[in-house]
Amino acid sequence: MTSDSTISSTRPLSEEVTHQATKQLNAFQRFLDSIDWDKVLAWTITKVLYILLMTVLFLVMRKIFLHLVDKGYCKQIEKMEKSGLNPQRQRTIKTLVHNIVQYTLVFFYIYSILTILGVPVSSLLAGAGIAGLTISLGAQGFMNDIITGMFIIGEKQLDVGDYVKLLNINIEGTVMAVGIRTTQLRGVDGTLHYVPNRNITTISNLSRSDMLVMIDVRIELAEGYEKIYHVIDQQTQKLANEFRNEIKSGPTIFGLVDLGNSNYAIRVTMYTENSRQYALKEQFLADYVTALTANGFTIPHTPIIPMK
């Protein structure tokens, strides 16, 4: 008796579920049947073709514009190189113009794609004024990057190829590119730093003039100052002739200097072309030490305590 009542109560429930499922399936089927698939397919193909055509058009425009920029600035760079002038500034401006052209094309490309898809871009732009305050706050950093970048270029603070130090963020390296938003620096270890222009506040440009090289050769005064001076003088003349194309002024033997803690050195100074100061300092110091050692003089190794 219980089994029969259970079957009789279960059967209507199962039939109701089946009925509901069938009803929903029929509704979905009617919805699919109401769609004009030929029209949807035609619309999709048309939009895809328009987007492909627009993409090809913008790629061609990008190539043409960038070619014109390269061609125009390459002529100026070649002309400056023939005149013996530094073309780095022209390269910096060329990089900036490249970025501006590409950003502009991307903006119009997106605008065109949205228009093709039927998105009311003009209405969106008009409505953007309502959210203008929010957008301006979000884009404040971006605008600061652009304005700062313009001042950096306009005031000739740095150019592509310059070796600079950004003192406020403790980064230094060779300028690889100056964009409207970021400046790229390659460090001495090869690291490429992307620095937002708004973070650049204090620039030490080490590429705008000849660089001072100061070499302190430690000596033992007890071994004879005049004899040591003579060896260093001979070596200085030899090195000056060897590196005459890279040395702009000097080298000059400054004389005896007190390094502190009873340590003395003979100081040599000179000015070299930029970027060669470290290599020449290492070369000169190594040759001085080698020459003094070969002549039987001692190179002190006691700790140096700076004088107060």
116: pLDDT strictly greater than 70: yes
Q: Which pLDDT score, from 0 to 100, does residue 308 have?
A: 54
My answer on whether 184 and 244 are in the same domain is no
pLDDT at 6: 47
Q: What is the pLDDT of residue 267?
A: 92
pLDDT in tens, 266-291: 899 998 877 678 888 888 999 999 99
In the structure encoding, which two tokens stand for residue 177, read together?
A: 């590119």
Both 164 and 121 in one domain: the answer is no
Answer with the one of 127, 156, 173 that is the final residue of a domain.
Answer: 127
Q: Last residue of a domain, which of 73, 92, 127?
A: 127
From the list 301, 219, 298, 303, the residue with the least C-alpha distance to 253 is 219
- In residues, how long is the chain? 308
Over residues 248-253, mean pLDDT: 85
Cα 194 to the chain's mean position, in Å?
Answer: 4
Q: What's the mean pLDDT in 94-105? A: 79
Cα dihedral: 19, 20, 21, 27 (round 10):
110
Query: Could you tell me if 59 and 101 lie in one domain?
Result: yes
Domain harbouring 140, CATH code? 2.30.30.60
| Residue 55 located in a structural domain | yes
Q: Based on the domain organization, do 101 and 171 belong to the same domain?
A: no
Q: Are residues 175 and 217 in the same domain?
A: no
Same domain, 196 and 175: yes
Q: State the amino acid at position 215 in one-letter form.
A: I
| Per-residue pLDDT at 302 | 74
Q: Are 203 and 149 in contact (CB under 8 A)?
A: no
Supply the pLDDT for residue 257.
Answer: 87
Q: What is the pLDDT of residue 7?
A: 46
Both 107 and 176 in a single domain? no
Judge if 45 and 122 occupy the same domain: yes
Q: What residue type is assigned to position 280 of the chain?
A: L
Compute the mean pLDDT over every residue in the chain, rounded to the nearest whole number. 77
Coil, strand or helix at 184: strand
For residue 307, tell me if it sits in a domain.
no
Three-state DSSP class for residue 19? helix
Q: 279 and 228, same structural domain?
A: yes
Is residue 102 in a domain?
yes
Domain that holds residue 60: 38-127
Per the listing, tokens 């913008």 go with: 58
In degrees and rounded to multiples of 5, residue 178 shows phi and psi of -125, 110
- Residue 107 tokens read as 């903006």
pLDDT band at 222 (very low <50, low <70, confident <90, very high): confident
| Burial (Cβ within 10 Å: 0-12, 13-18, ≥19) of residue 8 | exposed
Of the CA atoms within 13 Å of residue 219, those in its CB half-sphere come to 28
- How far apart CA 217 and CA 114 sit, in angstroms, is 70
Give 44's pLDDT tier (boundaries 50, 70, 90).
confident
In this structure, what is the dihedral angle of CA atoms 116, 117, 123, 129, given to the nearest 10 degrees? -100
Q: Residue 212: in which H helix or E strand, if any? A: strand 211-219
Least confident among 12-21, 217-226, 289-298:
12-21
Residue 135 has pLDDT above 70, yes or no: no
pLDDT in tens, 50-66: 888 888 988 898 888 88
Query: In degrees to the nearest 10, what's the CA dihedral of 269, 270, 271, 272?
Result: -120
Residue 15 in domain: no
Domains held by the chain: number: 3
187 contact partners, CB below 8 Å, separation of at least 6: 171, 172, 173, 193
pLDDT of residue 1: 47
In a domain, 58, yes or no: yes
The verdict on 77 and 142 lying in the same domain is no
Q: What does the alpha-carbon distance between residue 122 and residue 66 come to, in Å, rounded to a whole number?
A: 29
Among candidate residues 144, 171, 205, the one where a domain is terminated: 205
- Quick one: 167 and 121 in the same domain? no
pLDDT in tens, 191-209: 899 988 888 888 888 777 7
Residue 118, both tokens: 């039927």
Domain-located, residue 27:
no
- pLDDT at position 111 over 70: yes
DSSP 28: H
224 and 276 co-located in one domain: yes
Domain annotation covers residue 24: no
Are 75 and 67 spatial neighbours (Cβ–Cβ below 8 Å)? no
21 pLDDT higher than 80 = no
Kindly report the CATH number assigned to the domain that includes residue 233.
3.30.70.100
Of all residues in the chain, what percent carry a pLDDT higher than 90? Answer: 3
| Domain contains 1 | no
Mean pLDDT of 158-172: 83
CB 149 within 8 A of CB 179: yes
